[in-house]
Structure 1
Amino acid sequence: MTHDEIWRALDALAAENGLSASGLARKAGLDATAFNPSKRIGADGRARWPSTESLAKVLTATSTGMADFAALVTGMAAALPRGSRGPAARRIPLIGLAQAGGEGYFDDGGYPVGGSWDEISVPEVGDPNAYALEISGESMEPVFRDGDIVIVSPGAPIRRGDRVVVRTEKGEVMAKELKRQSARRIDLRSLNPAHPDYAFDLTEITWMHRIVWGSQ
């Protein structure tokens, strides 16, 4: 759990309630500037955590449970409906990451197609195009290991620092961390430090989807 993940979760909670960060603070009875970007960095230049008291007030004001807030922190909220914590309720397509670069598994938009996918049962997923990948090899250690399952949401918003699955025009499919994105290029960081980082022109990328959950 990082500072960015907590602040991003607060921003997402504000958006869910149709509020700005300032509006969320006011709704919780806090100073309107409590969640401003300037308050997220201390006088020494280090990232600051929101106080537990502030978080408690925000959760109370928005009737949000800790499990739902944790889903926003981890990114699961992009795939799971709010408050969904029940048993497995839906089956989604599953394929091995090594297979994903082959033809016939994705359409031009990056959505799973064809009859060669396996299936896996997961909690109810909000994104109708979500799919699962089974990790193979050690290229994503120590974050994801051989045999781990990750759920990928084509519809989830992507920000710097998110873990993503990317397909290139050459048919390569890789799981990386989005380091930086500009209007023309993206920089990707390898999860395994023994592997190189990558940079691509956007014209070289067919699609990029966010990993919203991993079975580590």
Structure 2
Amino acid sequence: MWILPLVGYLGSVLGFCFLTLAIASGLYYLSELVEEHTVIAKRLLTRLIYIIIGIQSVLWLVDGLPLLLTLLGVGSHFVYLGNMRRFPFVRLTDPLFLASCVLVLVNHYFWFRHFSDAQQRSYSRLSSMYDQPDIPSFTEIASFFGICVWLIPFALFVSLSASDNVLPTIGSEQPSRDDGGKNKRQGMVKVIVDYVLSGIGEVSRLAGWKKPEERF
């Protein structure tokens, strides 16, 4: 068969493009929701941080997850909690924000290595092919990473766009303004999406797929 594999490759590329557009649209919509409901978003994120700290503590007490990694995860979420003190105004050069970015990668690396090592040890102790390894399933590991490792950093990343239309208050950052006096603070998600779309448009124009706009 020659044509069917090509159709499969084409479908995979189209599916990846549609999935990327769906994720970008979802992030854009979430950023709009955070802009409109900043107080609710801050309260929800704060409660989520405490809930995840409780989940990690229970996992250590009941399921026997490593104490050091649990302390690392709990400490990381307390650092994430520090970003809420000026929410939704988050400076990209803030040491607390930079520490949060580093801790996300550190948590992912050590937890991934822990589950990988546990899987190797479990398979090495099997005496026959009929024995069942005592390891978490893929769904359990993926859920742990999604909830306990990536949920709060991802939510904080989306919430960076909440500062677009928030009115300044006493003791908060003053939003930047353009020459007309309008608030022009741009969110992180919107900046990335608009930058990608503008880049695609520029490539299309250079390739001749899109004609430049006529100027009078």
TM-score (norm 1): 0.24
* Structure of higher CA gyration radius: 2
TM-score between both structures, scaled by the size of structure 2: 0.24
* Higher strand fraction (1 or 2): 1
